[in-house]
Structure 1
Amino acid sequence: MALIMSFVSVAVSILYTPFLLLILCIIFLASIGKSLGVRRLYVNVLLKLFEYGRQHIEVAKKLQRSDSSDDEEPPVPDDKPPSAIFKENGINGTKMTVIERDEILGPSPELNYKRSTSQERVSNGVRPDSTGKGEGTKENNLEFHLHHCMDLVKAGMESIIEDQVTSVFEAEELRSWNLLTRTNMQYEFLSWRLTIIWMMGFVVRYFFLLPLRIMIFVIGVWWLVACTACVGTLPDGRLKQRVNYSVSIMCFNFLSRCINAVITYHDDDNKPRSGICVANHTSPIDALVLMCDNTYSLIGQRHGGFLGLLQRALARASPHIWFERSEVKDRHAVARRLKEHISVPDNPPILIFPEGTCINNTSVMQFKKGSFEVGGWIYPVAIKYDPRFGDAFWNSSRYGMLHYLLNMMSSWAIVCDVWYLPPMRRGEREDAVAFANRVKACVAARGGLIDLQWDGQLKRMKAKKEWREMQQEEFSKRLKGE
């Protein structure tokens, strides 16, 4: 028994020393803002491995089709509609579709569609003549034809079959398998080569990377709490702000190692220094991604437990805005706190996700107008994740926070791009809704995302009654021939 205990102690000491040295190396590199390039080399190796797996999947599928004539797939015609393509990286959507949309229903009739020439009626009661070129004849009442409302019927049926909203709350599909059984089809047993590669990847992710990342996460959280406590003892002033900036970036860079984040920042000249920073929202780690390169003040509901511990730790070092549950629903109180924060030039920019919910990295949904009513400069930021290495989208209706963190830490990596867009200001005659839509369009265009007008809260609630009534009113006008 003593021999076994001594053997175990020696083995633990042998394994403990490399882990300790690795942790110290990560802390040192994070503190000076440097990287050895190991993570990017690791990502490049993964890309080659995925390509190797894709080639073997195609070969295995061809062999299966040749063995059985019943499993042959019909050839894909060259003249297939543009929408019947496999959508990738959010530029075209998330999944296979057979619908080619010409008109799309929106929250209000003016956002529905662009009328085609066959649907246009001549104003002032003038109808074209039989040739379509003359001035036509005048009528007191317009004649109704069935085709006047068929575009609405067609768009409504398309929405029933495949609506735009539901698809953005599901995980994004991929072109090729990334050796994870939770994405796409499960190809791990398609051939013995793929089985060996998948098993080796499983061992590496769960028996080496996952324990290391959990250790980094635990150490990183306590390191953040300890550092912010030390910063909190300093008197308010420029020294405290500078120390907080360095400490915050160091701690969040260290925490980013627990998900092996590889982040590329673009257009640093537009990096926010004050005011309000708004970004599209895919995951709770969006704040982590942005705070690895800059210091932000956060806004949100006050929590207890573990999240409350982090909130109190962050509040000691920097001015953050935490609301009580009853106060969050008071828009005037939120606006007042925002104005107070941005009125102090030395305060860090406040980070807001105007969508209010996580979207699956393919689209940008309605920006709530509250943060655009405050005034001052708005600094838009576009975040785009590469889904080939791991799905950063948090489907809160399906996975809890612990399950989500486990998926993040057991993924290959989290790779993303961040674009800092030029600051924008509300026009003199522009209302908050129009300004929010203008900012959202810029974020969507830069991040290669689909710009949707729908409210992200449709993830949790039914469509508003007034939306249905507006569409019904538009439909009745068609029936009346107005």
Structure 2
Amino acid sequence: MIPLQLVATSVFITTIILVLSKRHWGWIPIILVKFLEEILGGLVGWKEIEQNFKRAEHKTFLTVDHIKNKEFNGAFETSSELICLGIQSILQDDLTRPFEIEEEEASLLHFPKEILNLPFYIFGLGFRWLFLFPLRICFMMFTVLFLTISSGFCVMIDAEKKHFRYCGITFAKLFNASTGLLVNFHDKKNRPRFPGVAVANHLSANDVMTIYSGCEYDGVGYTITGQSHGGFVKYLYKYGGKLTPLLLVDRACDKNRNALHQAIVNHSKSTDEDAYPVLLFPEGYCSNNKTVLQFRKAIFDGQTAIYPIAMKQNSRFGDAFWSEDTFIPYLVRIMTSWCTIIDIYYLPPMYKETKENDKQFAKRVQTAIATKLSVDALPFDGKLKSEKERLKYKEKLQSGLAEKLLPLASL
């Protein structure tokens, strides 16, 4: 029997060689996942459970804007609608739903409910922690080493842009290997171009590497934007920013956000043919892929083309949603999963219509991504993840209701 150490070493060396030579494993990872699915198919009741999100058509949300803009005709109609919206909110809390961590019944990562599945779970637990985790740690160490050396070397010799792009894409693919990511790209003809802004729904800080790994070596990369972080993520941004243009924003600082917006506008007006499209996550916060949060309207002013990107995950083998307080525990969780599977869909470019304002255009792009994912496009900002912000929103909602109900009460 071949020792596991030899297998791990062979996989490690082969993967490194393939990535550095602009190649990949081809269909082998997909075949292994299908094989794993077939094994699970023999377990009790597994095949009857399918992950399928349903998008609510024409759903009305209890929001401040809805109450403000709604014209109520009489006390009965008002009370009836408010009661329905209230019951709907109780049955499904849309304020916290994007941040919930739900245990998928078909997942391989949780303790099985059926005793017949226990042996497979125990085997999988040992395999993930004793084989996959050490292997991925080796990948991560090599990835960090590659990032440090390549970024420093490219800066020192003032390398050509194609060399920076090669190192950036290679780093992204190595990072994906270290986190066990399997990513499938669809509709590549719609890949973002310059001038333009690519916008995507947001799962984690790894989304940048996930999307960047889909760039073509002889094509264009991305001008990266993101939230300033500390710890390990700060290190990745520090050296990754040497390989591709990088713009960071502190969402707690309004001046910083305004400066970022102006930088994006100036970038979109650039005449440099070698410039990259900007990559943005307008939700501003990570969500669990079961909804799409409200898009911030700042960059939807019609200055340039918008290229929507929809990311859809299969969380049976690993959940890519960053729900932890810090990055390292999240990194350990996904590195000890079987794998994380994400499908990326490039949607056709969208342009602001003359009759639209910034908010309406942002909503249309958000809806296009949500429709592709078959999830709800929520009218709520990601900052409502905070209890303090939810209380503020509740007070605004109560104030809006009072303005509508008081005149009716006097009739």
TM-score range, shorter chain: 0.7 to 0.9
Contact 2:15 2:24 in 1 (8 A): no
Contact 1:92 1:450 in 2 (8 A): yes
Query: 1:242-261 to 2 correspondence within 5 Å?
Result: 242-261=162-181
2:10 maps to 1:24: no
Contact 2:50 2:106 in 1 (8 A): no
Contact 2:64 2:396 in 1 (8 A): no
Please identify, of 213-222 and 240-249, the stretch whose mean Cα deviation from structure 2 is larger.
240-249
Q: Which residue of 1 aligns with 2:198?
A: 277
2:44 maps to 1:46: no
* Distance in 2, Cα, partners of 1:154 & 1:112: 18
Q: Counterpart of 2:15 in structure 1: which amino acid?
A: I
Q: Unaligned 5+ residue runs, structure 1?
A: 1-13, 59-85, 94-100, 122-143
Shift of 1:332: 2.9
Selected match of 2:214 from 293, 296, 305: 293
Q: Which residue of 2 aligns with 1:422?
A: 348
* Distance in 1, Cα, partners of 2:65 & 2:50: 27
Contact 2:307 2:349 in 1 (8 A): yes
Shift of 1:112: 8.7
Deviations 1:277-297 (A, max 9, x none): 110112222112101112222
Query: Normalising by the residue count of structure 1, what TM-score does the alignment of the two structures yield?
Result: 0.74
Q: Which residue of 1 aligns with 2:239?
A: 313
Contact 1:366 1:437 in 2 (8 A): yes
Aligned pair in 2 of structure 1 residues 52, 330: CA closer, same or farther (>3 Å)? same
Aligned pair in 2 of structure 1 residues 372, 54: CA closer, same or farther (>3 Å)? farther
Q: Counterpart of 2:210 in structure 1: which amino acid?
A: V
Aligned pair in 2 of structure 1 residues 286, 300: CA closer, same or farther (>3 Å)? closer
* Distance in 2, Cα, partners of 1:434 & 1:272: 22
Helix, strand or coil for the counterpart of 1:317? Answer: coil
Q: Counterpart of 2:95 in structure 1: which amino acid?
A: V
Contact 1:177 1:187 in 2 (8 A): no
With CA pairs under 8 Å and 6+ residues apart, which has the higher RCO, 1 or 2?
2
Shift of 1:327: 5.9
Alpha carbon RMSD of aligned pairs, Å? 3.0
* Distance in 1, Cα, partners of 2:231 & 2:75: 64
2:112 maps to 1:187: yes
Q: Counterpart of 1:277 in structure 2: which amino acid?
A: A
Q: Counterpart of 1:385 in structure 2: which amino acid?
A: Q
Q: Counterpart of 1:318 in structure 2: which amino acid?
A: T
Helix, strand or coil for the counterpart of 1:418? Answer: strand
Please identify, of 165-174 and 204-213, the stretch whose mean Cα deviation from structure 2 is larger.
165-174
Specify the structure having the higher radius of gyration (Cα).
1
2:283 maps to 1:358: no
* Distance in 1, Cα, partners of 2:187 & 2:257: 33
Selected match of 2:106 from 173, 177, 188: 177
Shift of 1:477: 5.0
Query: Normalising by the residue count of structure 2, what TM-score does the alignment of the two structures yield?
Result: 0.86
Contact 2:4 2:131 in 1 (8 A): no
Shift of 1:212: 0.6
* Distance in 1, Cα, partners of 2:117 & 2:112: 7
Contact 1:106 1:453 in 2 (8 A): yes
Contact 1:381 1:419 in 2 (8 A): yes
Aligned pair in 2 of structure 1 residues 467, 338: CA closer, same or farther (>3 Å)? farther
Q: Counterpart of 1:223 in structure 2: which amino acid?
A: F
Q: Unaligned 5+ residue runs, structure 2?
A: 216-220
Contact 1:327 1:333 in 2 (8 A): no
Aligned pair in 2 of structure 1 residues 103, 339: CA closer, same or farther (>3 Å)? closer
Deviations 1:141-199 (A, max 9, x none): xxx5545422212322442453222222112453x433322xxxx426x42x4221111
Shift of 1:305: 4.9
* Distance in 1, Cα, partners of 2:250 & 2:117: 52
2:65 maps to 1:108: yes
Selected match of 2:130 from 193, 207, 212: 207
Q: Which residue of 2 aligns with 1:75?
A: none
Task: Give the length in aligned residue pairs.
Answer: 395
Q: Which residue of 1 aligns with 2:25?
A: 35
* Distance in 1, Cα, partners of 2:92 & 2:46: 33
Please identify, of 145-154 and 359-368, the stretch whose mean Cα deviation from structure 2 is larger.
145-154
Selected match of 2:142 from 206, 216, 219: 219
